[in-house]
Amino acid sequence: MIREMRAAIFDLDGVIVDTAHYHYLAWKRLAQDLGFDFSEAENERLKGVSRTRSLEILLEIGGLTMDEDARARAAARKNAWYVEYLAHLDASEILPGAAEYLHSLRGRGVKTALGSASKNAPLILARLGLTPLFEAIVDGNMVSRAKPDPEVFLRAARQLRTPPASCIVFEDAEAGIQAALRAGMGAVGVGRPETLKTADMVIEGLYQLNALLGIRSSA
């Protein structure tokens, strides 16, 4: 379907910045503390998934069960380590072309929003110096239903006062693509076509769109 893009809504982790490695290090540390190992391949299952659900998957991998209090404490420990790793995050970790593409959209009058499952999204955007490039920021603190539920993207569209059919979502996780499609938005997958099968189109990274528009991307 051809549509006019009046608003662009971006996922954060894996689209704007590569934080997956820091999430992995923090989950691995928790797993080791609990007495089992956690591989990078297993970490793929946690991408795009909320913190609570990620912990459930991790415990399933380790063959452990925990009551609700213990789960809340474990998730808080993981997050404290993750935030510790984020202390070193800076603009050099913005994914290639992301900042330039955001600037170009703003220059062309396209509205921009963030639609992320992460409760750390405001902190991460601030560390990257990207906060001013988003007119609306919807993060994991503001939604009650995780992707693939469309809530996060619908809220972003509402904040931008743009009908869903005029919004395009940029996402690296299949759950996020599903959420975009359920919201009635266009869905651009950022990653590999094999894993993002239902997206309207798939690109390797935002730098590819800059190339089409003749904009230089940072390395």
Whose structure tokens read 């007119």? Answer: 135
178 binds ligand BG6 (CB under 6 A): no
Task: Identify whether 11 is a catalytic site residue.
Answer: yes
**Residue 54, binding choice from Mg ion, ligand BG6, none, Cβ under 5 to 8 Å by partner class:** ligand BG6
The interface with ligand BG6 within residues 186-205 (CB under 6 A) comprises none
The interface with ligand BG6 within residues 10-29 (CB under 6 A) comprises 12-13, 23
Gap between the Cα atoms of 75 and 71, Å rounded: 6
Q: How many helices (H) and strands (E) does the chain have?
A: 9, 6
- Choose, by CB under 5 A, the member of 7, 10, 13, 136 that binds Mg ion: 13
Whose structure tokens read 């869905």? Answer: 187
Question: Is the CB of 86 or the CB of 165 nearer to ligand BG6?
Answer: 86
Give the three-class secondary structure for 168: strand
Instruction: Write the binding mask 64 to 103 for ligand BG6: x where contact by CB under 6 A, - elsewhere.
Output: ---------------x------------------------
**DSSP string for residues in 7-20:** EEEE-SBTTTB--H
Strand-by-strand arrangement of the 167-171 sheet: 136-138, 111-115, 7-10, 167-171, 186-190, 201-203
Contact positions vs ligand BG6 (CB under 6 A): 12-13, 23, 46-51, 54, 79, 116-120, 140
